[in-house]
């Protein structure tokens, strides 16, 4: 299989911070906003370099979304940053009315997404956000897998006209994609070509899928690994082509079982290429306190569970 090297664990939110700074340097219309979370969102570099284009909104997320819409309509490109739960579930109606229906060029930047937020527990660990944002007409949903990809995605969305939901996380995780990559919105990324099963993974689970690929190879199973960095619009052509080739599919995501990547891909395949599909997700439950590694294991989101799911999918061919 294709080898990937971890250049050192890094948090994806720092990739966002680095990308935001670059986007700010390239485009004078980029504005950053946060609801009292500069440090958590790693916005320091932007704030220091472009204080006149930074708006501190205080602990008032609903107002931040509306103000961002006003800035966007008047020609700015606002990036609003908070914890994933507080810029989705807490402000769903504001996003629906002001950003999505209002077709405002707002970039909703969500850190601490999923269960790997860890010790803070379920109040802060959203595993429903992809479903919420996917349901909105016109909303682009992006969930990059590591620091480098998050940085590239952040820079790419600055150049895209329209509402975007960008999801990333808190803990340090392997950084293994190219530092020079150019992020293409809406394009699935082939990580490893294989023949027996396809593992579609998104976010932190792409690295786990690559580890699972290694385990499967040792058992003589050839797995294709595809990074679904853009969940909406989904690269349906790539999904169907791979499923047609391998005839068995696993979908792996740090999200609950409803409305995320798994149901999305199963839905696409049901219409055009019925294929056995297995899900790796957080199930129908809330998170809890623990270290990211403990939680990933307990919720079945690690490489070992992905490898088992792959074998099960193959057995159903």
Residue numbers at the binding site for other proteins (CB under 8 A): 31, 52-53, 55, 57-58, 60, 62-76, 78, 93-94, 96-98, 101-104
Q: CB 142 → other proteins: shortest distance, Å?
A: 23
The CA-CA-CA angle for residues 230, 186, 316, to 5°, reads 65
Residue with tokens 């995780």: 173
d(CA 65, CA 90): 11
> How far apart are CB 307 and other proteins at their closest, in Å?
46
Closest CB to other proteins among 70 and 186?
70
| β-sheet bridge partners, residue 167 | 110
Q: Which is nearer to other proteins, 95 or 250 (CB)?
A: 95
Over the Cα atoms of the chain, what is R_g?
A: 19
Q: Measuring CA to CA, how many Å separate 43 from each of 20, 70, 304? A: 7, 21, 35
Q: How far is the CB of 54 from other proteins (least distance, A)?
A: 11
Comparing CB distances to other proteins, the nearer of 27 and 63 is 63
Q: Active site residue: 26, 44, 48, 61, which one?
A: 61
Q: How far is the CB of 52 from other proteins (least distance, A)?
A: 7
Q: Using CA atoms in the order 99, 184, 83, 58, what is the torsion angle rounded to 10 degrees? A: -50
49, two tokens: 């370099």
Among residues 103 and 222, whose Cβ is nearest to other proteins? 103
Least Å from the CB of residue 159 to other proteins: 18
- Indicate the residue among 52 and 218 with the shorter CB distance to other proteins: 52
Active site (annotated) includes residue 61: yes
- Bridge partners of 134, per DSSP, are none
161's tokens? 């006209």
- CA–CA separation, 301 vs 296, rounded Å? 5
Q: What are phi and psi of 250, to 5 degrees?
A: -125, 135
Question: In degrees to the nearest 10, what's the CA dihedral of 135, 299, 270, 244?
Answer: 120
Q: How far is the CB of 51 from other proteins (least distance, A)?
A: 12
C-alpha 117: how far from its chain's center? 14
Residue 93, helix vs strand vs coil:
helix
Q: Is 137 helix (H, G, I), strand (E, B) or coil?
A: coil
Q: Which is nearer to other proteins, 81 or 287 (CB)?
A: 81
| Both tokens assigned to 16 | 């966002």
Catalytic residue numbers, as ranges = 61
């Amino acid at each position: 299989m294709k080898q990937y090297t971890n250049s050192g664990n890094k948090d994806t939110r720092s990739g966002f911070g680095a990308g935001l700074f670059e986007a700010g340097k390239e485009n004078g219309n980029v504005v950053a906003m946060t609801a009292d979370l500069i440090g958590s969102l790693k916005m320091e570099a932007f704030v220091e370099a472009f204080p006149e284009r930074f708006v501190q909104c205080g602990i008032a997320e609903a107002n931040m979304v509306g103000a961002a819409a006003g800035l966007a309509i008047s020609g700015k490109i606002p990036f609003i940053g908070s914890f994933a739960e507080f810029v989705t579930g807490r402000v769903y109606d504001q996003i629906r009315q002001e950003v999505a229906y209002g077709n405002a060029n707002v970039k909703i930047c969500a850190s601490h997404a999923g269960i790997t937020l860890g010790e803070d527990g379920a109040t802060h660990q959203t595993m429903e956000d992809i479903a919420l944002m996917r349901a909105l007409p016109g909303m682009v949903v992006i969930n990059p897998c590591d620091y480098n990809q998050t940085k590239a995605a952040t820079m790419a969305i600055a150049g895209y006209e329209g509402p975007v939901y960008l999801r990333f996380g808190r803990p340090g995780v392997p950084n293994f994609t190219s530092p020079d990559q150019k992020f293409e919105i809406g394009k699935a990324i082939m990580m490893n070509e294989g023949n027996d099963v396809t593992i579609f993974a998104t976010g932190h689970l792409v690295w786990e899928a690559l580890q699972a690929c290694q385990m499967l190879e040792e058992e003589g199973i050839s797995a294709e690994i595809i990074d679904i960095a853009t969940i909406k619009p989904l690269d349906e052509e790539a999904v169907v082509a791979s499923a047609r080739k391998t005839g068995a599919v696993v979908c792996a995501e740090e999200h609950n079982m409803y409305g995320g990547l798994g149901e999305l891909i199963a839905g696409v395949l049901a219409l055009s290429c019925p294929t056995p599909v297995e899900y790796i997700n957080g199930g129908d439950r809330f998170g809890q306190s623990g270290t990211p590694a403990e939680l990933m294991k307990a919720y079945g989101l690690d490489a070992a569970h992905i490898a088992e799911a792959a074998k099960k999918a193959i057995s159903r061919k």
